């Protein structure tokens, strides 16, 4: 699994960190967010106007939004399933920095981003700060899915399927309020996107571990001594 390579002064090992379902769902999520944001924004504020009733702009936007919403739902389900079935780097346990070691890692990463610490904490999979952030991102994803199905349910005859997928939310929130939050939370996700890309772009040359390509190939290049430390 791990192949020794020589990189600069440091011995690095090639480690298979991200398994196929992790990479697949990552890119499905990324493209879903892109399509859902564009079509969803149009549905909330139709910025293009048809001048002939032969056009079907809102129709297409809603159709794409609903189809991609199902793709996104499946992607999120697969990733959550893999949090229980995948390797240690994909595990749900990564999300919660509860151990002393993880808490230190979490604080070290925060200090690094706020210029207090020069070195980021070196880890093979997710850093504690990153994985906790992804946990919050998934909470936000699930809110978008549930609120989306709540809004979608009102154009269907009442059925247990729609109630389970999101219709139950109508019992505790008014329809316009759900619409507002569903719309607003899009911006929360859109704020996360540059943060995520920036952090990756910034960390990749810093860690020299092939962070960007790892989300394509699955492999990271980790200094040998860090693996030894991790195994202790």
Alpha-carbon gap, residue 108 to 155, rounded angstroms: 49
Least Cβ distance, residue 193 to other proteins (angstroms):
9
Instruction: Rule CB under 8 A: choose which of 177, 213, 217, 225 binds other proteins.
Output: 177
Q: Which of 4, 8, 100, 160 binds other proteins (CB under 8 A)?
A: 8
Contact between 183 and other proteins (CB under 8 A)? yes
With beta carbons less than 8 A apart as the criterion, state whether 106 and 132 touch. Answer: yes
Size of the site for other proteins (CB under 8 A): 43
Helix axes 100-113, 128-153, angle to 10 degrees: 90
User: Computed from CA positions of residues 174, 175, 176, 182, in that sequence, does the dihedral angle turn out positive or negative?
Assistant: positive
Of 59, 67, 77, 230, the one binding other proteins (CB under 8 A) is 59
| 34 contributes a contact to other proteins by CB under 8 A | no
Of 2, 5, 7, 55, the residue at the interface with other proteins (CB under 8 A) is 55
Beta strands 10-16; 219-223: pairing state: antiparallel
Site mask, other proteins, residues 198-217, x = CB under 8 A?
A: x---x---------------
Task: Kindly give the pairing relationship between strand 219-223 and strand 3-7.
Answer: unpaired
Backbone angles phi, psi at 24, to 5 degrees: -60, -50
User: Within its chain, how far is the Cα of 18 from the centroid?
Assistant: 14
Query: Is 160 a binder of other proteins (CB under 8 A)?
Result: no
Among 180, 204, 223, 226, binds other proteins (CB under 8 A): 180
**Which of 1, 6, 118, 231 touches other proteins (CB under 8 A)?**
118
Residue 222 near residue 15, CB atoms below 8 Å: yes
Q: What is the footprint of other proteins within residues 73-112 (CB under 8 A)?
A: none
Candidate list 2, 34, 50, 67; residue touching other proteins; CB under 8 A:
50
């Amino acid at each position: 699994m791990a192949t020794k390579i020589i990189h600069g002064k440091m011995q690095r090992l090639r480690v298979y960190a991200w398994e196929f379902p992790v990479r697949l769902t990552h890119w499905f999520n990324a493209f879903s967010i892109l399509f859902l944001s564009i079509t969803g924004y149009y549905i909330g504020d139709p910025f293009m106007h048809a001048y002939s009733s032969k056009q079907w702009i809102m129709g297409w936007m809603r159709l794409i939004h609903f189809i991609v919403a199902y793709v996104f739902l499946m992607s999120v389900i697969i990733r959550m399933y893999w949090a229980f079935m995948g390797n240690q780097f994909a595990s749900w346990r990564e999300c919660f920095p509860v151990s002393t070691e993880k808490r230190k890692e979490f604080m070290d990463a925060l200090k690094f981003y706020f210029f207090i610490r020069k070195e980021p904490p070196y880890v093979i999979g997710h850093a504690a700060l990153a994985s906790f952030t992804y946990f919050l991102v998934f909470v936000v994803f699930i809110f978008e899915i549930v609120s989306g199905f709540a809004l979608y349910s009102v154009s269907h005859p009442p059925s247990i399927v729609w109630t389970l997928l999101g219709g139950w939310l109508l019992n505790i929130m008014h329809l316009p309020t759900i619409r507002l939050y569903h719309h607003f939370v899009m911006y929360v996700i859109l704020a996360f996107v540059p943060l995520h890309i920036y952090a990756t772009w910034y960390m990749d040359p810093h860690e020299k571990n092939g962070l960007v390509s790892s989300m394509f190939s699955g492999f990271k290049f980790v200094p040998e001594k860090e693996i030894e430390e991790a195994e202790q």
